[in-house]
Structure 1
Amino acid sequence: MTQSFDTPLPPPKERRRLREKGALTQAQLAAALGVSRETVRAWETGRSTPSGRKRESYGQLLASLAARPSAEVTAPQKQEPAPNLTVSLSKAEKPNPHTPTATPTATATSPPPPPTTAPLTPAQAFDALYAFCAPALVRQAYLLTGRRELARESVEQAFQVAWQRWPEVAVDPDPASWVRAAAYEYALSPWHRFRPRYRHPEPPPADASDRALLDVLLTLPPSYRRTLLLYDGVGLGLPETAAETEASTPAAASRLLNARSAVAARLPDLAEPDVLHRRLAETASTERLRAAKPSTVRIGSERRARFWTRAAIAVTVAIIGATALTLHSAPTRYEPPVPPGETVPGLPPRAAPGTLSTAELTLRAKLRAESANGPERLLPEPR
C-alpha cells in the first residue's frame, strides 16, 4: 500500500520569505532536507513542487519557521548528503559580496542585516554570476566532452552569449540554469568533430578509475550523458532535468535508467546513485580546470559583438552598392532581342566552289592577257 503525503505548502514567494525570516540560506536549507541547492531554488521560484517525504519534511520546516517570530530556528538533523556537483566542482561556494548573507548560527539574537540599497551594475551582477557558476560548469563540461580545452571554451562561449543578452538573462528566474543549458548545448555540438584541433584525443586522466568512468560516459549518447549528469551529478529533480533537456518527464526517466544500466554494466561498483554521484564529483575535481576571468569574458563578448556588427554593416553596404550599380547600368527602355535569320524564297542557291568550265577558263585567259591599266590615254603636251 502506497502512503501519500499531502502536506500543504505555502506559495513560492512565501516559502522564500519564511526561509529568509529564519536566517537560512538556500544551501543550509538544502543540506537540512538532503536535496541540492538548485532544487530549493526551483521550489522557491515555483518551477517545481516537492513530493513524497521531501514534501512532508519541507512543509514541517516551513511551518516551524512560520510559527517562530524571530530567526531562532533549529534545522532538523539529517545525515550529510553526498557532495553536490554544482558546489564540489568549484573551489568554494563564495557568496556574492554585494548580497547580504544570513547568520549561519542556529539561534540568532539579532535580525539579519538589511539589504544593500545601492543596486548592482550589470557588470557587477555578471561577475558575481560568473564567479559562482563558471568553476563548476567547466568541470561539468569536461565530464560531457572529455576535453579540457573544449570545456573551458564552452563555458566562455555561454557566458559571452549571456553578456550579449544580459537584459534577458538578468530577469530570468534561474540565470545559472540559463547559462548551464547554453554551455551544454555548445559542448555537445556535433560540429566540433570537423575542427582540426579536436580530431586528436587529449591525454586521459591519470587515475585508472577516473579513466574508466570517463570512457563509460563518453560511450553514452549525448542525451543520456546530459540527463545522467544533471540528475546524478548536479542533483536536479526529474522535472527540472526533463525541462532543461527539452524532453518529457517519462523520456528523461527512461534516459536516466538506460544510462545508469550502461554505467553499472561496465562499472558494477557505481550501481548505487549515491556512489555514482560522488565518483562524478571526484573525477571532475581531480582535473585542474580553470576558467578565465569575468572581465576577459566580457571584453571578448563585446569584441565579438562589434566584429559581427561591422561584418553585417559591410555586407549590407556591399548589397546596397551592387544594387545601385545594377540600377545605374541597366537599360532605360526595353530592347527586344534580335530574331534568328529566315530563308528568303526565290533566290538561287549559292554555288559551291569547284572545277572551272571551258567558258570560264577562256574568260580568265582573256582577262589576264589584257593590260591591267587599260588602253593608253591621250594627254595634251605643252608647247
Structure 2
Amino acid sequence: MTQCFDTPLPPPRERRRLREKGSLTQAQLAARLGVSRETVRAWETGRSTPSGRKRDSYAKLLAGLADERPPGVTAPQKAESAPELTTGPDETGEPPTPDPASGPEPGPDSDSVTTALAPAPAPTATATPPSPLSPPLTPAQAFDALYAFCAPALVRQTYLLTGRRELARESVERAFQAAWQRWPEVAVDPDPPSWVRATAYEYALSPWHRFRPRHRHPEPPPADASDRALLDVLLTLPPSYRRTLLLYDGVGLGLPETAAETEASTPAAANRLLHARAAVAARLPELAEPRELHSRLAETASTERLRAAKPPAVRSDGERRARYWTRAAIAITVAIIGATALTLRSAPTRYEPPVPPGETVRGVPPRTAPGPLSAAELALRAKLRAEAANGPERLLPELR
C-alpha cells in the first residue's frame, strides 16, 4: 500500500521568492532536500512538481522560510557550483538527459578565484523585515548597486572574450550606459545582470571594432606564459564558441541559460561547448577537465587586475552621450526639413518642356563672304547716294 502525501505547495514564483527571502541558493536548498540543483530549478519554474516524501519535506521547508526568522537559515558563503557535463537521473525519477544542464564543477582550490569571473554575492537579507517607513531606493541608487555588483567581474569576463583591456572596460561602460537609458525596462527585468552581460558581450564581439585605428594593433599579452597560451587558444575560437565556453565554464551558467543568452537552441549550445572544450584540450591537454578549465579562466582574469569606472561617471557619460545623439538627430531632422522646404519653394509650378537640340538642314548652300561690287552695283549705289534721303523728293516706286 502506497502512502499519499498530498501536501499543498505555493506557486512556483512564490517558491523562488521564499528561497531568496531565506538567503538560500538553489544548490543549498537541493542539499537540504537531498535532490539535485536541476530538480529545484524545475520546481521553481513550474516544469515539474515534487511528489511523495520530497513534496512533504519541500512544503515544510517553504513554510519555515515563510516565517520572519527561518530556523537554521544561513547566508550563502560561496558561489554555488554545478555538476559535470553529463547528468544522471534525479530523485524525481526523470530520465537522464544527454545535454549538459548546468555549469562546470569547480576544483578543490577554485574557491579563492571563483569571484574573479562570477559577480560578488548579493547582500543577504536580514532577519528583521525592513521598516515600511524606510524610503525606497532611487533609480540612481539602484543603478549604482547593480553596477557595483556586476561591473568588476564583467570587465574580467569581457577581457577573456576579446583579449583587449580597453575594449573590455569600454564594453562594460557602454552596456551600463544602455541600461541607464532604459532603466525602467532593466529595473523590472527578472535578471538584470544577464541583461547587462548580454549587452556587453554583444558590443565587445562587434565586428566593426576591427576598423578602428587603435584596434588594428594587438595589446601587450599577459606576463605569465600559461595565461598567454590560454588567451591565444580562446581568441582562435569562433566568437559564438568562445562566448558559450566563457558563460558555461567561466561564469558557471547552466546550459539552458547559456543557450538563451547566446540566442541558440540547447543542442546547438551543447555542440558549441563540446567543440570549444575539444579545441582547448587539443592545445592545452592539462585543461581537459572542466574544473581545471574553470580555475584557469578565473586565474587568468584575476591576474590582470582590471578596474571599472565609478558608477556616477558612467551615468554622467551615458547622459552626455544621449544628449549628444539627441541633438544630432534633431539637427539632421531640421536639415532635412529645410532642404525639403527649399526644394518646394524653388521648384517650378508648371511644366516647361525642354528645348530640343538643333538639327543640321541638308541642301542649303553655305554662306559666302561679300566680294567686290560689279559695275551695275556701283552705279546703283552712286544713284542712291545722290538722291534725297527723305522728304517728298525721295524715291517712290512707279506703277507700270
Q: Does TM, normalized by the shorter one, top 0.5?
A: yes
Q: Percent identity?
A: 68
Is residue 175–residue 196 contact of structure 2 (8 Å, CA) maintained in 1?
A: yes
Matches within 5 A, 1:134-283: 134-283=151-300
The correspondence for 1:350, drawn from 345, 353, 364, is: 364
Structure 1 counterpart SS, 2:374: helix
Taking the aligned partners of 2:327 and 2:381, their CA distance within structure 1 comes to: 84
Gaps of 5+ in 2: 1-7, 82-105, 390-400
| CA deviation string 1:163-182 (max 9, x = no partner) | 11111111110011000000
* Aligned residue number for residue 113 of structure 1: 129
* Aligned residue number for residue 102 of structure 1: 125
Amino acid at match of 2:130: P
Alpha-carbon shift at residue 262 of structure 1 (Å): 0.4
Is residue 32–residue 78 contact of structure 1 (8 Å, CA) maintained in 2?
A: no
Which piece of structure 1 moves more, 320-329 or 80-89? Answer: 80-89
What root-mean-square deviation, in Å, do the aligned CA atoms of Structure 1 and Structure 2 show?
4.3
| CA deviation string 1:9-50 (max 9, x = no partner) | 8643232343256x32449848968xxxx999977973x969
Is residue 26–residue 40 contact of structure 1 (8 Å, CA) maintained in 2?
A: no
**What TM-score, normalized to structure 1?**
0.76
Is residue 233–residue 280 contact of structure 1 (8 Å, CA) maintained in 2?
A: yes
Matches within 5 A, 1:21-170: 23-26=22-25, 29=28, 46=45, 62-63=58-59, 65-66=61-62, 68=64, 70-73=69-72, 81=81, 82=106, 83=110, 88-89=115-116, 93=120, 95=122, 101-102=124-125, 111-114=127-130, 117-170=134-187
* Aligned residue number for residue 3 of structure 1: none
Alpha-carbon shift at residue 316 of structure 1 (Å): 1.1
Alpha-carbon shift at residue 143 of structure 1 (Å): 0.3
Amino acid at match of 1:363: S
* Aligned residue number for residue 396 of structure 2: none
Structure 1 counterpart SS, 2:135: coil
| CA deviation string 1:284-325 (max 9, x = no partner) | 000021111111111111111111111111111111111111
Taking the aligned partners of 2:223 and 2:256, their CA distance within structure 1 comes to: 36
Q: 1:85 to 1:194 in 2, by over 3 A?
A: farther
Gaps of 5+ in 1: 1-7, 104-110, 379-383
Alpha-carbon shift at residue 350 of structure 1 (Å): 2.8
Is residue 249–residue 294 contact of structure 2 (8 Å, CA) maintained in 1?
A: yes
Taking the aligned partners of 2:160 and 2:263, their CA distance within structure 1 comes to: 20
* Aligned residue number for residue 326 of structure 2: 309
Equivalent residue pairs, number: 345
Which piece of structure 1 moves more, 335-344 or 360-369? Answer: 360-369
Q: 1:92 to 1:323 in 2, by over 3 A?
A: closer
Is residue 154–residue 186 contact of structure 1 (8 Å, CA) maintained in 2?
A: yes
Amino acid at match of 2:261: E
